[in-house]
A and B are shown apart, each in its own frame.
Chain A
């Protein structure tokens, strides 16, 4: 089963994303901070990550920098999901090869982005 990690400190966002993904057959894990997410990445085999930017402690961008530096996860399989919408955010996400979905999101946009991220693993694999 395809495993996706949701990194977000907002419980209802986690709940919503989890519902969308689980109903489509994904196995979903979650982490409320970057620190916790690193632990999950290290412990679990993941196909994609849905990443919030406004996290307590290290934010989403720092998390991306860290996993790229540690080579712990392919940043191309990360989907940035954020309410911190600015003109530079999509471009910044692209620098990491990551996808970008702005809040409020539609379920089909999330699923499409996750689908593309998972496909990258399959093409690489």
Chain B
């Protein structure tokens, strides 16, 4: 054996043992069995070369070196199988069977004691034992070689390259052994021995690269991934999914880029945005590190990287955990991940911004819809042109949104007064004057109907859009009408009270005046004066009584107006007779009742009697000598008329005939209350009927009532 070969043999043994020591150190740091088993396997390979050298130095006198070599050889193979078992678990049965095979081969090798000397003669048992050893060892190595190669398929570039490096490295060891065996059992030539040793040394960096690849090699492996990653980073920005989807996509690339096994993306609030693999189980790390923990890029453990995600809402983090196939992370991986994290953070910020804008828009639309649901019109106008109007405004104005947008000016919808108001507001705004945001105005609908509106308006200056007015418009036509009706009712009530007071003043004046004269001048009064005085007192007291009765009747009617009156069939002729008995004609008046006997109307009998009494009384006071009661059929209803041949109602009085305290020209002599016809109208309305006046021919008055006839 040449000196060079011997030196190389030492170098091989030393380098294998060095590699073993390095991997052992890794195991000491990481406490992962893979490293220990690999260290063991490599140490065993290295020790074979050392034992061969020792045997040679002792001139092959000690068989122990033979036995130890056999054991080391088989142990290196079995050690590799266990490495494979750690990375890709085998079934227990297979492991046990392999162990038994290895033990059997070891026993065979030890019993047969294969000679170590290159010059020794190999008999048949030696050759058989040698083949048993080689086949067993090769089986232990080849299975992982093939398995690693197959398992590399479809894995991220770094993992794939590393698995294949392992496969190639072990394949090379097997190839070396095959080369040695193919040369036969004889002592190789010095040249061949040198080649074997050089080949053995070449295996060292291959194995080293397979287990602890340097940064440049990792970068090399990553080259294709880097290209895809660049495209992914570009894709992240226009990608507008949810933050979780973005985070999952980003995490997929982060783990793929580093060839990592698991990872997670943590939001600024500690929430997990995405997770790949079993992070906690992969390296027993907390999935929710505090922001301070994730503030800087650093390995949390030797096989974990935490890189901060510098997001707008606060820092989050990406945690990447290496797997069994992942090379240890170095500064290069951290730098790459940090770079990627920045892009991911921007993408997350962007998608959140888009989400926030969408939420803002949604709440804006909800608000507008709510405003619309409440019937409030919402209008955005720019340079007097409609930019936006909600459904409620369209309903309010009668124009569709398209029609509103096509209007030359929104002011066209206003009445002249409203146009003037808008012009005034624009002028005051130009002058910088303040004016109220709320005002009432009028507008003309598409159908020409004028409506009253209440407007709350703001001027908004927004960038390129210029000045916009945003208005909420409410239709207050009904409210205005109600207010007018209330004012009218209030005026009517006050007028009623003034008139009632006036009606009481006259009789009180008579009572007061005559009573005071009776008290002071009774002795001076003639009999005639006394009689006239007492008669006047009596008439005025009666007048006050009637007035009070009528006022009470009206009050009761007002109270009962809202209540349903129970109607029944009332024979009209009988009711007319009853009323005539209650209000018989005074001297000089004649009443003629010309009603068919069988006619019945739907009414409240008591109220119908009161109606008829009032009508008779009215006719006696203001009519002529003859009063006639007649009825005619009017298609489902019956018209009852009281006609007289008096002077009739002066035309200027007719419109006010059924208003309170309206009385005929000669009323002061008649002592009426001025409420009789008002009461008649209210009573008839409770029956669902109506009352009206028309002049009689050739003269006189005709008061008619429409009543529901019983079929």
| Interface residue ranges of B532-558 to A (CB < 8 Å) | 532-533, 536, 539-540
* A72 in contact (CB, < 8 A): no
Task: Determine which of A9, A32, A104 lies in contact with B511 in the assembled complex, contact meaning CB atoms within 8 Å.
Answer: A104
**Complex Cα spacing A84 to B666, Å:** 18
Choose the segment among A41-49, A105-113, A114-122 that binds chain B (4+ C-beta atoms closer than 8 Å): A105-113
Q: Is the CB of A12 within 8 A of B512?
A: no
* B505 in contact (CB, < 8 A): yes
Q: Is the CB of B536 within 8 A of A16?
A: yes
Q: Is the CB of A13 within 8 A of B665?
A: no
* A40 in contact (CB, < 8 A): no
For B514, list chain A residues within 8 Å (CB). 16, 19
Choose the segment among B156-164, B359-367, B462-470, B521-529 that binds chain A (4+ C-beta atoms closer than 8 Å): B521-529
Q: Is the CB of A106 within 8 A of B510?
A: no
Q: Is the CB of B506 within 8 A of A103?
A: yes
Q: Is the CB of A105 within 8 A of B665?
A: no
* B565 in contact (CB, < 8 A): no
Contact with B along A1-33 (1 / 0, CB 8 A): 000000001111101110110110000000010
Q: Is the CB of A9 within 8 A of B668?
A: yes
* B647 in contact (CB, < 8 A): no
Closest to A15 in B: B536
**Complex Cα spacing A58 to B686, Å:** 38
* B596 in contact (CB, < 8 A): no
**Complex Cα spacing A96 to B503, Å:** 26
* B214 in contact (CB, < 8 A): no
For B506, list chain A residues within 8 Å (CB). 10, 12-13, 83, 103-104
Tell me, rounded to whole Å, the shortest Cβ–Cβ distance linking B547 to chain A: 13
For B508, list chain A residues within 8 Å (CB). 103-104
For A85, list chain B residues within 8 Å (CB). 501-502, 505
Task: Determine which of A10, A12, A19, A54 lies in contact with B517 in the assembled complex, contact meaning CB atoms within 8 Å.
Answer: A19
Q: Is the CB of B509 within 8 A of A83?
A: yes
- With A104-B511, A110-B513 already in contact, the answer to whether A12 and B540 are too (CB < 8 A) is yes
Task: Determine which of B502, B511, B513, B529 lies in contact with A17 in the assembled complex, contact meaning CB atoms within 8 Å.
Answer: B513
* B91 in contact (CB, < 8 A): no
* B477 in contact (CB, < 8 A): no
- With A11-B668, A17-B513 already in contact, the answer to whether A104 and B540 are too (CB < 8 A) is no
Q: Is the CB of A107 within 8 A of B517?
A: yes
Task: Determine which of B505, B520, B525, B669 lies in contact with A83 in the assembled complex, contact meaning CB atoms within 8 Å.
Answer: B505
Task: Determine which of A9, A13, A19 lies in contact with B509 in the assembled complex, contact meaning CB atoms within 8 Å.
Answer: A13
- With A11-B669, A23-B525 already in contact, the answer to whether A16 and B505 are too (CB < 8 A) is no
Q: Is the CB of A105 within 8 A of B517?
A: no
**Complex Cα spacing A84 to B520, Å:** 28
* B568 in contact (CB, < 8 A): no
Q: Is the CB of A105 within 8 A of B512?
A: yes
**Complex Cα spacing A111 to B525, Å:** 17
**Complex Cα spacing A102 to B507, Å:** 13
Tell me, rounded to whole Å, the shortest Cβ–Cβ distance linking A30 to chain B: 13
- With A12-B536, A56-B665, A104-B508 already in contact, the answer to whether A23 and B524 are too (CB < 8 A) is yes
For B505, list chain A residues within 8 Å (CB). 83, 85, 102-104
Most buried by B among A54, A84, A107: A107
**Complex Cα spacing A57 to B505, Å:** 21
For A107, list chain B residues within 8 Å (CB). 513, 516-517, 520
| Interface residue ranges of A40-85 to B (CB < 8 Å) | 54, 56, 83-85
Contact with A along B480-521 (1 / 0, CB 8 A): 000000000000000000000111011111111110110011
**Complex Cα spacing A20 to B516, Å:** 9
For B540, list chain A residues within 8 Å (CB). 12
Q: Is the CB of A16 within 8 A of B510?
A: yes
For A19, list chain B residues within 8 Å (CB). 513-514, 517, 525, 529, 532-533
Tell me, rounded to whole Å, the shortest Cβ–Cβ distance linking B166 to chain A: 116
For B509, list chain A residues within 8 Å (CB). 13, 16, 83, 103-105
For A23, list chain B residues within 8 Å (CB). 517, 521, 524-525, 529
- With A15-B536, A103-B508 already in contact, the answer to whether A83 and B502 are too (CB < 8 A) is yes
For A104, list chain B residues within 8 Å (CB). 505-506, 508-513
- With A19-B517, A19-B529, A23-B525 already in contact, the answer to whether A12 and B510 are too (CB < 8 A) is yes
For B665, list chain A residues within 8 Å (CB). 56
**Complex Cα spacing A23 to B521, Å:** 7
| Interface residue ranges of B215-253 to A (CB < 8 Å) | none
Q: Is the CB of B668 within 8 A of A10?
A: yes
For A12, list chain B residues within 8 Å (CB). 506-507, 510, 536, 539-540
Tell me, rounded to whole Å, the shortest Cβ–Cβ distance linking B578 to chain A: 32
**Complex Cα spacing A85 to B507, Å:** 15
Closest to A57 in B: B665
For B533, list chain A residues within 8 Å (CB). 15-16, 19
Tell me, rounded to whole Å, the shortest Cβ–Cβ distance linking B543 to chain A: 9
**Complex Cα spacing A90 to B465, Å:** 67
For B525, list chain A residues within 8 Å (CB). 19, 23
For B520, list chain A residues within 8 Å (CB). 107
Tell me, rounded to whole Å, the shortest Cβ–Cβ distance linking A59 to chain B: 13
Tell me, rounded to whole Å, the shortest Cβ–Cβ distance linking B546 to chain A: 14
**Complex Cα spacing A112 to B514, Å:** 17
**Complex Cα spacing A12 to B520, Å:** 19
Contact with A along B647-665 (1 / 0, CB 8 A): 0000000000000000001
Closest to B522 in A: A23
Tell me, rounded to whole Å, the shortest Cβ–Cβ distance linking A36 to chain B: 14
Q: Is the CB of B532 within 8 A of A15?
A: yes
**Complex Cα spacing A15 to B514, Å:** 9
For A17, list chain B residues within 8 Å (CB). 513
**Complex Cα spacing A84 to B512, Å:** 17
For B536, list chain A residues within 8 Å (CB). 12, 15-16
**Complex Cα spacing A54 to B508, Å:** 16
Most buried by A among B505, B513, B540: B513
Most buried by A among B510, B512, B529, B539: B510
- With A10-B668, A83-B502, A84-B502 already in contact, the answer to whether A16 and B513 are too (CB < 8 A) is yes
Closest to B520 in A: A107
Tell me, rounded to whole Å, the shortest Cβ–Cβ distance linking B423 to chain A: 41
For A13, list chain B residues within 8 Å (CB). 506, 509-510
**Complex Cα spacing A85 to B502, Å:** 8
**Complex Cα spacing A15 to B513, Å:** 10
Tell me, rounded to whole Å, the shortest Cβ–Cβ distance linking A37 to chain B: 15
**Complex Cα spacing A20 to B536, Å:** 14
Q: Is the CB of B517 within 8 A of A20?
A: yes
Q: Is the CB of A20 within 8 A of B513?
A: yes
Tell me, rounded to whole Å, the shortest Cβ–Cβ distance linking A110 to chain B: 7
**Complex Cα spacing A84 to B499, Å:** 9
Tell me, rounded to whole Å, the shortest Cβ–Cβ distance linking B517 to chain A: 5
For A105, list chain B residues within 8 Å (CB). 509, 512-513
**Complex Cα spacing A107 to B519, Å:** 11
Pairs A–B under 8 Å by Cβ, sample size 17:
A11-B669, A12-B536, A15-B510, A15-B533, A15-B536, A16-B509, A16-B536, A19-B514, A22-B529, A23-B524, A32-B668, A83-B502, A83-B506, A83-B509, A85-B502, A104-B506, A106-B513
Using CB atoms and an 8 Å cutoff, list the residues of chain B in contact with chain A: 501-503, 505-514, 516-517, 520-521, 524-525, 529, 532-533, 536, 539-540, 665-666, 668-669
Given A56-B666, A83-B503, 16 more contacts at CB 8 Å? Answer: A10-B668, A11-B669, A12-B510, A13-B510, A16-B514, A19-B517, A19-B525, A23-B524, A32-B668, A83-B502, A103-B505, A104-B505, A104-B506, A104-B508, A104-B513, A107-B513
Closest 3 CB pairs of A and B: A83-B505, A104-B508, A103-B509
